[in-house]
Every structure is written in C-alpha cells, then in structure tokens.
C-alpha cells in the first residue's frame, strides 16, 4: 500500500499516525511532541507557500516545514 505522508492529508480530516521517518535530534523532538504510532492527527492549515504546515496533535497545534512533514506517515 502506498504510504501517505503528512503532506498529502486532506485539510480538516483526522488521520491516525503510523510512523516517523526522520533521524536524530529532530526525530526525537517530533516523537516527544506526541507524533507516536496511533496518535490522531489533523492538518489544519498551510502557510501561503505551502510551508510550514500546521497540525493538530494531542490537543496542541504544531507547525512543521514541508521537508519534515513529508517524512511523517499516517495509516
């Protein structure tokens, strides 16, 4: 099955997070913010240029750049 990254989420729809394909400190930080398997996630809005993007996860809004969001996947 084709993996769906955070870049291609429909805005306003809730998804279930599958895995994070980032490395090092950033991976750690992202996981610590609750981007762990099974978490509900929703893309809220994007900046004018398409980056960064704002996500609702575990009750808080987190903005990520396109390049990083591309490496986080949902089910």
Binding residues for another protein, rule: CB under 8 A, are 23, 25-34, 36-39, 44-45, 47-49, 51-52, 54, 56, 58-65, 67-68
How far apart are CB 4 and another protein at their closest, in Å? 20
User: Closest separation between CB of residue 74 and another protein, Å?
Assistant: 16
Residue number, 2 or 32, with CB nearest to another protein: 32
2 vs 23, which CB is nearer to another protein?
23
Phi, psi dihedrals of residue 42, rounded to the nearest 5°: -140, 135
Phi/psi of residue 70, nearest 5 degrees: -65, -20
DSSP H or E stretch at residue 73: strand 72-74
Give the nearest distance from C-beta 75 to another protein in angstroms.
15
């Amino acid at each position: 099955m084709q993996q769906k990254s955070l870049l291609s989420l429909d805005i306003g729809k809730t998804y279930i997070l599958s895995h994070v394909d980032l490395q090092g400190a950033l991976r750690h930080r992202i996981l610590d913010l609750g981007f762990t398997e099974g978490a509900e996630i929703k893309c809220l809005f994007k900046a004018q240029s398409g980056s960064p993007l704002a996500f609702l996860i575990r009750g808080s809004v987190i903005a990520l750049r396109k390049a990083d969001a591309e490496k986080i996947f949902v089910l």
